């Protein structure tokens, strides 16, 4: 398994693979890997000859009040988890928003060299050292990708700037890794839809695959942020998946109006001391709200349990007529 920190090295490897006739699948992650990620990797292996996994906590998708600093990081642990899956390359880049041309060149090279050495010595996530200097450089990055409609609803409302950061970093990864296929989890449903739209609109020649959400045995949707939950909070958080089961049954039993289904979820979460951020039933492509389930739909949920914000979703089918 190759490990690249430098984007030029990553690109060079990808191009060598292409020249050798290999098809490349790419799995972008923020690390702190769990079985959900590994499921994406397994899917990637089915889609291509070689698999690249990126591990990068992307600063531009966190708001200043969010958990960028405390987001779990464990490069060595992540590499150990990937090893049995015979991943071909891991891309763990330096700060991708650092200016890499002009007057700061020599300083950047020094930082890269010392940081890379440190990573080798300690197996540490070397992006950490660099992110403290983020403020100093980020202002120089000024190009952002906006998926102007899909970025607005759901998580776009409570996390302004989030999808701008996601679309931009995914584009950067696509330009560096140059994959033929990229795998996204449908756990982040809006993110997956937004990437599909961006790829179509900007004429990327990359096939996007959405993989089904993976749940823990107790029903909780897998997420790196689950580690923030105390065991009591975790029990409360199960109200989300429990409510989704009830929604599924209700739809099968003919309840098709969105407000009744939303209310069902809301009661379940509130009863478990959760605070609802949003519960919406949407059309699956545009994520526009639906009043009735009369087309392929998805119910999307975000809720807080103590200081932890969790998201979950379930695709819903209209009744067969």
For 78, other C-beta atoms within 10 Å of its C-beta total 20
With tokens 């909780």, the residue in question is: 220
Does residue 37 have an active-site annotation?
Answer: yes
Nearer to a second copy, 69 or 160 (CB): 160
Q: Is 144 in the site for a second copy (CB under 8 A)?
A: yes
Stretches 62-70, 77-85, 105-113, 202-210: which one binds a second copy (CB under 8 A)?
Answer: 202-210
190 touches 156 (CB < 8 A)? yes
**Segment lying near a second copy (by CB under 8 A), choices 63-71, 99-107, 256-264, 268-276:** 99-107
Report DSSP letters for 176-211, one per residue. HH--SEEEEETTSHHHHHHHHHHHHHTT---EEEEE
In the complex with a second copy, the residue whose CB is nearer, 43 or 193, is 193
Indicate the burial class of 118 (C-beta count within 10 angstroms; 0-12, 13-18, 19 or more). middle
* Beta carbon nearer to a second copy, 209 or 272: 209
Which residue out of 5, 34, 37, 39 is catalytically annotated? 37
Residue number, 30 or 206, with CB nearest to a second copy: 206
Widest pairwise Cα distance in the chain = 67
Q: Using the rule CB under 8 A, which residue among 76, 146, 157, 245 binds a second copy?
A: 146
In the block, residue with structure tokens 């070689």:
50
Q: Is residue 17 at the binding interface for a second copy, with CB under 8 A as the rule?
A: no
Binding mask 279-318 for a second copy (x = CB under 8 A): ----------------------------------------
Kindly indicate which of the ranges 25-33, 38-46, 72-80, 97-105 contains the residues binding a second copy, using the contact rule CB under 8 A.
97-105
Contact call for residue 100 and a second copy (CB under 8 A): yes
Q: Is 315 exposed, middle or buried (0-12, 13-18, 19+ CB in 10 A)?
A: middle
Interface with a second copy, residue 48, by CB under 8 A = no
Strand-strand pairing, 181-185 and 24-29: parallel
Stretch touching a second copy by CB under 8 A, among 62-70, 81-89, 203-211, 248-256: 203-211
**HSE-up of residue 173 (Cα within 13 Å, Cβ side):** 33
- Output the smallest distance, CB 114 to a second copy, in A: 23
Tell me, residue by residue from 204 to 233, as one string, x for binding to a second copy by CB under 8 A and - for no binding: xx----------------------------
What does the alpha-carbon distance between residue 266 and residue 264 come to, in Å, rounded to a whole number?
A: 6
Residue 263 within binding range of a second copy, rule CB under 8 A: no
Of the candidates 79, 167, 247, 262, which one interacts with a second copy according to CB under 8 A? Answer: 167
Per the structure block, which two tokens stand in for 238? 């199960």
**Which of 202, 252, 275, 295: binder of a second copy (CB under 8 A)?**
202
Token pair 């200016």 is at which residue?
A: 99
CA pair distance 114, 116, nearest whole angstrom: 5
| CB closer to a second copy, 152 vs 238 | 152
Rounded distance, CA 141 to CA 11, Å? 21
d(CA 321, CA 319): 6
Q: Do 160 and 146 contact (CB within 8 A), yes or no?
A: no
Q: Does 11 bind a second copy (CB under 8 A)?
A: yes
Active site (catalytic) residues: 37
Applying CB under 8 A, the residues found at the interface with a second copy are 7, 11, 96, 99-101, 141-150, 167-168, 171-172, 175-176, 197-198, 200-205
């Amino acid at each position: 398994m190759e490990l690249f920190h430098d984007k030029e090295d990553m690109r060079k490897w990808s191009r060598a693979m292409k020249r050798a006739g290999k098809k490349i699948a790419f799995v972008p992650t923020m690390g702190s890997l769990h079985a959900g990620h590994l499921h994406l990797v397994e899917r990637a292996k089915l889609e291509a000859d070689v698999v690249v996994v990126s591990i990068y906590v992307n600063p531009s998708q966190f708001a200043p009040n969010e958990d960028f600093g405390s987001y779990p990081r464990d490069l060595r642990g992540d590499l150990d988890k990937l090893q049995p899956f015979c991943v071909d390359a891991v891309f763990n880049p330096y700060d991708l928003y650092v200016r890499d041309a002009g007057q700061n060149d020599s300083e950047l090279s020094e930082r890269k060299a010392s940081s890379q050495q440190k990573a080798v010595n300690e197996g540490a996530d070397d992006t950490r050292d660099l992110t403290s200097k983020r403020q100093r450089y980020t202002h120089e990055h000024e190009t952002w990708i906006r998926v102007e409609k899909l970025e607005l609803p759901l998580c776009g409302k409570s996390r302004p700037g989030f999808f701008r950061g996601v679309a931009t970093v995914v584009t950067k990864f696509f330009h560096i890794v140059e994959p033929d296929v990229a795998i996204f989890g449908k756990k982040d449903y809006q993110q997956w839809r937004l990437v599909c739209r961006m790829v179509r609109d900007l004429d990327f020649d990359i096939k996007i695959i959405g993989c089904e959400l993976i749940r823990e045995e107790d029903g909780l949707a897998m997420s790196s942020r689950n580690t923030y939950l105390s065991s009591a909070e975790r029990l409360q958080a199960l109200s989300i998946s429990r409510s989704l089961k009830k929604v599924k049954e209700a739809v099968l039993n003919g309840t098709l109006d969105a407000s009744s289904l939303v209310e069902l979820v809301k009661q379940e979460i509130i009863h478990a001391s959760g605070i609802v951020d949003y519960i919406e039933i949407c059309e699956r492509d545009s994520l526009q709200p639906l009043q009735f389930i009369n087309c392929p739909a998805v119910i999307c949920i975000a809720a807080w349990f103590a200081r932890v914000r969790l998201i979950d979703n379930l695709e819903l089918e209209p009744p067969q007529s």
